[in-house]
């Protein structure tokens, strides 16, 4: 508990807003102002502020692995309300990064747009209301009304949309890059609640040729799609595991990256 409080104090300038939110005295939005210069509109009574603090602590996606080149191309897949995209933006803004932020959840996407606007980062962060998946089309996104950062994709066939789900557009990595004339990706960050396995299995050849480095959060789904098995298989494909972070996230360096689309 003490460590969490310390992280919060180190991250948030208007810390009293967090206390008011914690006590349940806020309805609607809470605007948090961070010491690093970023500001966030977050939903009171949800995990939004936890995600903001974790990212700002430089622990989930350590900035020492961010690309150092000028005008890097970065994909934030599973952007939520923009906490990772804006952390990267704040760290790399002098290098003029192009950050493509993918978020299929309508409510999250609304806050992603708000936070891009609040931080005047629209010149750098390009939002897309899309789910990155193994193939382009549509799917059903299921989510929790408290943990908005966690949502998983299901085949939409014979599935009914409920109050905690919505139909979303999906796009494959290769199709998106070709459509948007993106020749290479310096950093691909993925936190897509189990859909990462479909992305890798369907586009591994493309990723090997065109993605330089990867942060991916892994989820244990079954005997085939799980943390341990993924690590074994990805190394066989020629990737180097540079770091294992917070038990579920790994950072990969791609030894094959040397071509263009």
For residue 241, being part of any structural domain is answered with yes
Question: In terms of DSSP bridges, do strands 131-132 and 137-143 run parallel, antiparallel, or are they unpaired?
Answer: unpaired
For residue 222, being part of any structural domain is answered with yes
Rounded distance between C-alpha atoms, residue 190 and residue 61, angstroms: 11
CATH number at residue 133: 3.40.50.150
Going across the sheet that includes 125-128, the strands are: 125-128, 98-102, 73-77, 187-190, 213-217, 249-254, 239-245
For residue 185, being part of any structural domain is answered with yes
Higher pLDDT, 50 or 255: 50
**The pLDDT of residue 260 is above 70:** no
Rounded distance between C-alpha atoms, residue 32 and residue 40, angstroms: 5
Rounded distance between C-alpha atoms, residue 143 and residue 89, angstroms: 27
For residue 182, being part of any structural domain is answered with yes
For residue 25, give the H/E element and its range: none
Confidence of residue 193 (pLDDT cuts 50, 70, 90): confident
Tokens 């579920």 belong to residue: 248
Number of domains in the chain: 1
Confidence of residue 153 (pLDDT cuts 50, 70, 90): low
pLDDT value of position 119: 98
Q: Is the pTM of this model over 0.75?
A: yes
In tens, the pLDDT along 91-119 reads 999 999 999 999 999 999 999 999 999 99
**The pLDDT of residue 162 is above 90:** no
For residue 12, being part of any structural domain is answered with no
For residue 204, being part of any structural domain is answered with yes
Mean pLDDT of 181-204: 94
Range of the domain at 144: 57-254
């Amino acid at each position: 508990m003490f460590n969490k409080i310390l992280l919060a104090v180190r991250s948030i300038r208007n810390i009293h807003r967090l206390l008011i939110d914690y006590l349940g005295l806020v309805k609607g939005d809470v605007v948090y102002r961070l010491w690093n210069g970023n500001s966030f509109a977050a939903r009171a009574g949800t995990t939004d502020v936890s995600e903001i603090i974790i990212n700002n602590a430089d622990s989930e996606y350590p900035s020492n692995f961010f690309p150092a080149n000028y005008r890097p191309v970065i994909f934030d897949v599973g952007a939520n309300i923009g906490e990772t995209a804006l952390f990267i933006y704040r760290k790399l803004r002098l290098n003029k990064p192009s950050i493509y932020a993918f978020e299929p959840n309508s409510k999250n996407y609304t806050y992603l747009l708000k936070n891009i606007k609040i931080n005047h980062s629209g010149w750098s962060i390009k939002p897309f209301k899309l789910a990155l998946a193994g193939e382009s089309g549509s799917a059903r996104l299921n989510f929790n009304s408290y943990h908005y950062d966690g949502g998983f994709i299901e085949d939409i066939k014979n599935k009914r949309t409920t109050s905690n789900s919505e139909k979303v557009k999906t796009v494959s990595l290769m199709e998106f890059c070709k459509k948007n004339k993106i020749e290479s990706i310096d950093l691909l960050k993925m936190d897509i609640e189990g859909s990462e396995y479909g992305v890798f299995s369907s586009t591994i050849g493309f990723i090997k040729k065109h993605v330089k480095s990867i942060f991916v959060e892994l989820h244990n789904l079954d005997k085939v799609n799980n943390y341990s098995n993924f690590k074994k298989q990805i190394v066989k494909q020629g990737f180097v595991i540079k770091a294992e972070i917070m038990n579920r996230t790994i950072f990969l360096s791609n030894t094959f990256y040397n071509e263009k689309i």
